[in-house]
Structure 1
Amino acid sequence: MGILTTLRNGDHRLTRRVAAWDSDWARQLLPPVEEAAEHTKLWWAAAVAMGFGGGLRGRAAAAAGITAMGVAELLSNGVAKRLVERRRPPKEWIPHDEVEDRPDSSSFPSGHTAAAAAFTAAVAPSWPWAGAACAVPTVMVALQRVHSGAHYPSDVAAGAAIGLAAAALVRATPRLLMCAWR
């Protein structure tokens, strides 16, 4: 069996396992997390809270987070989803009702995860405490995307990688511009 076949089979097994996870915690907490993350509402709310309550450091962290999130959304939803057409996990793998509320777009990559990872990774260097606080819902968003049947774990991993790259790009841009102006 080839490496790609092994990875795909593992991806499919993990999708079924996470989607079948039936606990009170998952049923009560994951749907509200998904609702809060829709249209990046959760991250905009976090940015507003940081901007109002965090002084100059909070405003810098919020600006970095929002900018990185925008770059990640452009890369994941504007570029990657158009380049890679991947079907969502089969409905019969998802043993709960959330499977009916899935997007029609390509499964690859997870735009929700890209936005969440970008926001969190861009916030953390400016304000580590806020970055740590944002990391909890970021992980929950990633888990929810697989649990709901919207994505495979590899879609979520790709979204996280895009988010981290977007945050690194945003964090490096001022230094790159300073070097270019010299």
Structure 2
Amino acid sequence: MRLLAGLQRADRSLTRRAASRIPRGAAKVLSAVEEFAESTKLWCTAAAVMALLGGRPGRRTAAAGLGALAAAQLAANGLCKQLADRPRPPVEWIPHDEVADRPDSSSFPSGHTAAAFAFTAAVAPAWPGAGALCAVPAAMVALERVQSGAHYPSDVAAGAVIGLASAWLTRHAAAPFLRS
């Protein structure tokens, strides 16, 4: 019980800090990256570039990334959000107008973060350079979800765990097919 209370205090403190201390210019960049990641546009674009430029290995890597992304979306949005009806951070904690654009669904977990981390973690082992490039916007998406008031930090952390687990499961489930 004390652990849960401590987590709630940390969530509250970190959410307020992220929403109020990130410079306006940086917040605009984070918002633009998140907007491009909305509906998985960023990750599908990255997969298309990998498939076009990487030949057969690039197509396999892109498929692994998209498979992990789909698994993460299913787990985060299709299952976890339905089971955990957590409200979004209170509007009064967020001192800017981005709070008006947040969804009405459960705050827990962050589906955006789950998708970003799943795609990145599935791509990185097969194509480390592409994984490193994807890691930057994935981290930006995670930070933006807290900064905008859409999620608590624990929602984002849970999304990251779901994404990493989805990538691991996808890569290991697909391993026999990728060896041929």
Q: Secondary structure at the match of 2:124?
A: helix
Superposed displacement of residue 177, structure 1: 7.8
Residue of structure 2 in register with 1:161 after alignment: 161
Query: Structure 2 regions of 5+ residues with no counterpart?
Result: none
Normalising by the residue count of structure 1, what TM-score does the alignment of the two structures yield?
0.94
Q: Partners in 1 of 2:3 and 2:115 — Cα distance?
A: 29
Q: What SS does structure 2 have at the residue aligned with 1:77?
A: helix
User: 1:106-146: per-residue Cα shift (whole Å, max 9, x none)?
Assistant: 00000000000000000011101100100000000000000
Distance in 1, Cα, partners of 2:76 & 2:62: 21
Note the residue ranges of structure 1 that are not aligned, 5 or more in a row: none
Deviation at 1:61, TM superposition (A): 1.0
Cα deviation digits, residues 83-104 of structure 1 (max 9, x gap) = 1010000000000010000100
State the Cα distance separating 1:166 from its structure 2 match.
0.4
Q: Post-superposition shift, 1:60?
A: 1.1
8 Å contact 2:22–2:147 — kept in the other structure?
no
Aligned residue number for residue 31 of structure 1: 31
Instruction: Name segments (4+ residues, structure 1) moved above 2 Å.
Output: 174-178
- Equivalence for 2:131: 131
* Partners of 1:175 and 1:127 in 2: CA distance: 15
Give the CA deviation at 1:22: 3.7
Which residue of structure 2 lines up, in the alignment, with residue 108 of structure 1? Answer: 108
1:41 alignment partner AA: K
CA distance in 2, matches of 1:8, 1:26: 26
Normalising by structure 2, we get a TM-score of: 0.95
Q: Distance in 2 between matches of 1:21 and 1:3?
A: 26
- Correspondence list, 1:168-179, <5 A: 168-175=168-175
Query: Alpha-carbon deviation of 1:176?
Result: 6.8
> 2 CA distance for matches of 1:88 and 1:107?
5
- Whether 1:74 aligns to 2:71 is no
The corresponding residue for 1:43 is: 43
- What amino acid is aligned across from residue 139 of structure 1 in structure 2? A
Deviation at 1:31, TM superposition (A): 1.4
- Are 2:15 and 1:8 equivalent residues in the alignment? no
Q: 1:52: which partner in 2? A: 52
Aligned letter for 2:30? L
Q: After superposition, what is the alpha-carbon deviation per residue over 1:15-58, rounded to whole angstroms, capped at 9, x for unaligned?
A: 00001124144233011111101101000000001110111221
Q: Which amino acid aligns with 2:80?
A: A
